[in-house]
Amino acid sequence: MHRRSKALALLLLLPALALFAALTLYPLGRVLALSLFVTDYGFEGATFTGLGNYVELFSHRFFRIATWNTIVFAVLATASEVGIGLTLALLVNGRIPGRRFVIPVIIMPYVLSTMVVTAIWRAWFHYDFGFLNNVLRAAQVPPVEWLFNPDIAMLSLVIVDAWQTAPLTFIILLAGLQVIPREVYEAAEVDGAGPVRIFRSITLPLLAPYLFLAALLRSVDAFKIFDKVFALTGGGPGQATETLSMYVYRLGFKFFDVGLASAASIIMVVVAGVLAAFYAARLLRGSS
Amino acid sequence: MTGGTSAGAWARGAATYLAAVLFLLPIVWMAATSLRPPIEYISPSISLWPSSATLEHYRALMADDVAGKALNSIIVALGATSLSLAAGFPAAYALVRLRFPARLDMAFLVFVLLVKLTPPISLAIPLYQVLRALSLLDTLMGLIIVYQVYTLPFAIWMLLGFVRDVPVEYEEAALVDGASLARRLAWIVVPVMMPGIIATAVFVMILSWNEFAYALLFIQSPSKFTLPTFIATLITEDETFWGKLSAIGFLASLPILLLVGFVQKGLTRGFGGGLK
C-alpha cells in the first residue's frame, strides 16, 4: 500500500500546499522584498535601499527599546509560567478530593479570548475603583499604579499573561509527572531519600523534557505577544511595554513606513526560525 | 509523589483549592459585574456580588447588535474550521501513510512548524495587500482565509497523531478486498478517527473564535466585527464600561467554557505519553 504512486501523495498534499503558498510563502517573499525598499505601501514609487532599512532599524532607539522589552517580557513570563505551572502540577499530582473538578477550573483562563482576559484585568488594574486596589486599600496597603507606572506596567502584563497561560504549562507538566512510574518513588523511599532529595534527583531530571517543552512553547508565544499589549497598555506608558509585534504594527499600520516595518518583520521571522529549529530538533530526537 | 502525613495531605489539598479559587476569581468577578449596576463600580467594596442585580448591560448589548457580532464570529469560526479540516486531513493522511520523493514530507513538516511559530504580525502587511488585490478586505470570507495561517498548521499537526493511531491492518484488509482510497478513507479511516477529528475541530474553532490581530487589521466595518474586535472597541473607547464589557465577555466565553473538559482531555493527550 505504501508503494502506491507518489503522485497520489502529492495530490493529497496539494490543498494544504496551495494555502501555504498563498498565505505564507508568497507573503514571506513579499515582505522580504519590501524590506529592501523605502515605501509606504507596495513597490510602485518605491526606492531601492538595499539593507538600508535594517541599518536604520538598529540605530532606531524605539526598535532597541521594543527588542529589549520583548526579551524582558519573554523571560519574566516564561519563568513565572513554568514556575507556577510546576507548583500547581506538583500540588495536583496526588490524591486530592475533588481533583476531577480542580483541574478544569484551573484550565478555564486558558480557553478565554485574550480580549475578554484583557477586559477583566483592565478593570482590576483601575487605579481608583479597580478590584486589586480595593483589596490593597482594605488591607491598609497603599494602592498601586498598575498600568501607568512605567516600572510596574510590564509586571502587570506578566501577571495577566501568567493568569491566562500558566494553565497550559500546568497541563504539560502534570502530563509529565503522570508518566513517571510510581515504583521509582517507592524505591527511593525504601532507600530512605527525603522529599527534597526525591524532587531533586528523581522528579526534576525525569521532568526535564517537559520543562523544556513548556518553556519553549511559552517563550515562542511570549516573543509574538501582540493583542494583550495592544488592549491592555497600548505599549505605554511611553514605550514601557512596547514589544516587537506592537512596534511592527505601529510602523506598518499607523505610520505607513512599510519598508522599515517589513525589515523588522523579517528579523522577527528569523528569530522565530531559530526557535523553530530548536523545537524541530527536540521533536526529531524524541521520535527516533 | 505520595501524600506523606495526613497533615501534609491536608495542607496540599488546601493549597490546591486556594490556587483554583485564585484562577477562578476573575471569571466569577466578570459574571457578577455583568449584573452590577454602574453606581456600584465606584464603591470601595471588595464584595464580588452586586447588592442589587440588574440586566441593563445585557439589554444595552442587544441594542448594540451583539447578536450580529456573535453571528460573524460563528460564521468565521465554522468557515475557518471547515477549510482547515478539508485541507489538513488529506495532508495529514498523506504525510503519515504515503511515500514522498526526496524527503519532501520532512521538509513540509519543518515548514509547518516554522509557520506555526512565525509571529502573525510579521505577515500582516503582505496579507493585507493580498486581500486587497482579491477584493477580500473587510469581508468575513477574507478572514476565514487568513485564519488558515494559524489554523492549518495547527490542524495538520494535531491530525498527524490521530492518523498514526489508526491501525494500518484495517486499511490493508480493505485493500485486499480491492477498496479504493476514497472508499478506505470514507469507510475506515474517517470513522475510526472521528473522535480525533472532532477534537481537532474543537481546538481550531476555539482558536478562530478568540482570534484578534487579523480581525483588527483586516475588518473595518463595525457590522462585520467579530466578538473580540467588538470587545476591543469597548475596552479602548471608555475605560469604565465594565458592566457591558463583562456581559459581552461572559457571553463570548460561555460556549468555550462549556468545552473546557474537552480541552483538558485534548491537551493531556497531546502532551502526555512521551511527547509525540
ipTM for the complex shown: 0.88
Angle of helix A6-20 versus helix B104-117 axis, rounded to 10: 20
Q: Give B275's pLDDT tier (boundaries 50, 70, 90).
A: very low
Amino acid identity for residue A28 in this structure: L
Give the distance from residue A95's alpha carbon to the nearest chain B alpha carbon, in angstroms: 7
pLDDT for residue A47 is more than 90 = no
The closest CB to that of A107, out of B3, B149, B264, belongs to: B264
> Could you tell me which chain B residue has the CA closest to the CA of A271?
B118
> Could you tell me which chain A residue has the CA closest to the CA of B20?
A106
Give the distance from residue A86's alpha carbon to the nearest chain B alpha carbon, in angstroms: 12
How far is the first Cα of chain A from the last one, in angstroms, to the nearest whole number? Answer: 23
> Looking at residue B1, what is its pLDDT?
46
Per-residue pLDDT averaged across B135-162, rounded?
A: 93
> Looking at residue B5, what is its pLDDT?
64
Mutation for A interface: B125, B132, B204, B248, most A CBs within 10 A: B125
CB-side neighbour CA atoms (13 Å) of B141: 6
The fraction of chain B above a pLDDT of 70, given in percent, is: 95
Residue whose C-alpha is closest to residue A85's, from A102, A104, A106: A106
Q: Give A98's pLDDT tier (boundaries 50, 70, 90).
A: confident
The fold for domain A39-51+64-287 equals: MetI-like fold (1.10.3720)
Averaged confidence pLDDT in chain A:
89
Write the DSSP assignment of A25-73 as a string of letters: IHHHHHHHHHTTEE-SSSSTT-EE-TTHHHHHHHH-HHHHHHHHHHHHH
Cα–Cα distance between B216 and B230 in angstroms, integer? 9
Contact (CB, 8 A) for B12 and B3:
yes
Cα–Cα distance between B207 and A219 in angstroms, integer? 19
> Looking at residue A72, what is its pLDDT?
96
Averaged confidence pLDDT in chain B:
87
- B264 to chain A: which residues are within 8 Å by CB? 103-104, 107, 171
Give the distance from residue B55's alpha carbon to the nearest chain A alpha carbon, in angstroms: 19
Cα–Cα distance between B275 and B269 in angstroms, integer? 9
Residue with cell 441594542: B63
The closest CB to that of B23, out of A30, A105, A224, belongs to: A105
> Looking at residue B204, what is its pLDDT?
93
Residue with cell 522599515: A260
B4 φ/ψ sector (left φ>0, alpha ψ -120 to 50, else beta): left
SS3 of residue B230 by DSSP: helix
- A265 to chain B: which residues are within 8 Å by CB? 119, 121-123, 125
What are the pLDDT digits (tens) for A149-183? 999 999 999 999 999 999 999 999 998 898 888 88
Residue B147 burial (CB < 10 Å; 0-12/13-18/19+)?
buried
Contact A111 B263 (CB under 8 A): yes
Give all domains of chain B, ordered by start, each with its CATH number: 6-55 (no CATH), 64-237 (1.10.3720.10)
> Looking at residue B272, what is its pLDDT?
63
Q: Give B276's pLDDT tier (boundaries 50, 70, 90).
A: very low
Q: Where are the domains of chain A?
A: 39-51+64-287
Q: What is the pTM of this model?
A: 0.89
Contact (CB, 8 A) for A90 and A177:
yes
What are the pLDDT digits (tens) for B188-223? 899 999 989 998 999 999 999 999 999 999 999 999
Chain B residues 18-37 with a CB less than 8 Å from chain A: 19-20, 23-24, 26-27, 29-30, 33
> Looking at residue B238, what is its pLDDT?
64
Residue whose C-alpha is closest to residue A14's, from B149, B88, B115: B88
Mutation for A interface: B18, B21, B23, most A CBs within 10 A: B23
